[in-house]
A and B are shown apart, each in its own frame.
Chain A
């Protein structure tokens, strides 16, 4: 080992340092230590069973996030499904107007005459009906009742 001038001035300190730990190291039972190390190397790693939260493997953290997201999604979905439905839906006939019976037409007329904002709704599937005004529908009904 080469020493520069500064090192040579510190010979006493180096000598002390070289003695440091000697007694403790001599008391080490090397054979026992060797056996213990080999025993631990043969045993399966205990790390897998003892992950503190902060150092859990990345895949485990990812899985935890995925589970949390799925759970949140299910909660939102079930909430939506359980929402009370106070809105009455009238399914108007979807065929040609001429195919409707008088009762069916009357039901349609009642719906059309309701002011906007009331709970009844009309499906947009019945194309053509929404274009008629109330008097037109009434006239149509009268002609059908004939």
Chain B
């Protein structure tokens, strides 16, 4: 019987962070590849316009790498990245309020997939997006971190600088308001 080939070791986020801090640019590239889609999903859920999603994701990574000295591993790197992404999105919204933007009509927005499926699946999703847009930022982020990303309240609390009990309360308020809005 042949000895099993050892699995290629997958470096942890902490190892990649240390490598990046030691000057290894490929470590940064690996971190971006590992977390970019999850970050994009979180930001899209939080209301980032599709057209700006790439820019917001890039900016979040750049800010995160420049602030890595402040990251003490108190929560997962990905969760910390989400909170930075939330700040980037907030700044982008503030800037957008200063610049008048004429939105595209629904019929002009680029959409992929089968129109019927999209209509059925997309309607509830669109209502949820609208509902999330009406929530206070903290409730929205707690809801997304919990319901979309599947994080525990303890992890959410550390990332958002609150307590697990408060995070739980925010989540339940968010759910209540979203259900009211969607019904």
Interface of A is mostly: helix
Which chain A residues in 25-75 approach chain B with CB under 8 Å?
25-34, 36-38, 40-42, 45
Q: Answer whether A16 and B128 are a contact pair too, CB < 8 Å, given A21-B42, A27-B50, A45-B66.
A: yes
Q: Answer whether A22 and B41 are a contact pair too, CB < 8 Å, given A27-B50, A30-B32.
A: yes
Smallest beta-carbon distance A42→chain B, Å? 8
CB pair B54–A28 under 8 Å, yes or no, is yes
CB pair A24–B40 under 8 Å, yes or no, is yes
Q: Which residues of B contact A41 (CB under 8 A)?
A: 25, 28, 62, 65-66
Interchain CA distance A25-B57 in the complex, whole Å: 10
Which chain B residues in 96-118 approach chain A with CB under 8 Å?
112-113
Interchain CA distance A38-B132 in the complex, whole Å: 32
Which chain B residues in 26-57 approach chain A with CB under 8 Å?
28-29, 32-33, 36-38, 40-45, 48, 50, 53-54, 57
Q: Which residues of B contact A42 (CB under 8 A)?
A: 25
Q: Answer whether A25 and B40 are a contact pair too, CB < 8 Å, given A17-B148, A18-B148.
A: yes
Is B134 an interface position by the 8 A CB rule?
Answer: no
CB pair A33–B148 under 8 Å, yes or no, is no
Smallest beta-carbon distance A71→chain B, Å? 34
Interchain CA distance A16-B61 in the complex, whole Å: 27
Chain B 122-150 against A: per-residue CB contact (8 Å), 1 yes, 0 no? 00110011001000000000011001101
CB pair B62–A17 under 8 Å, yes or no, is no
Q: Answer whether A18 and B37 are a contact pair too, CB < 8 Å, given A13-B179, A29-B54, A38-B25.
A: no
Smallest beta-carbon distance B70→chain A, Å? 16
Q: Which of A20, A30, A40 contacts B37 (CB 8 A)?
A: A30
Is A116 an interface position by the 8 A CB rule?
Answer: no
Binding site for B on A (CB under 8 A): 1-2, 6, 10, 13-14, 16-34, 36-38, 40-42, 45
Binding site for A on B (CB under 8 A): 25, 28-29, 32-33, 36-38, 40-45, 48, 50, 53-54, 57-58, 61-62, 65-66, 112-113, 121, 124-125, 128-129, 132, 143-144, 147-148, 150-152, 172, 175, 178-179, 182
Known: A1-B152, A24-B50. 12 other contacts (CB 8 A): A13-B175, A17-B143, A17-B147, A25-B37, A28-B36, A30-B32, A30-B36, A33-B58, A38-B32, A40-B58, A41-B25, A42-B25
26 A-B residue pairs with Cβ-Cβ distance under 8 Å, sorted by A, are: A6-B172, A13-B128, A13-B147, A16-B124, A16-B128, A17-B45, A17-B128, A17-B143, A17-B148, A19-B125, A20-B128, A20-B144, A24-B40, A24-B41, A24-B50, A25-B41, A27-B53, A30-B32, A30-B36, A32-B54, A33-B32, A33-B54, A34-B33, A37-B32, A37-B58, A42-B25
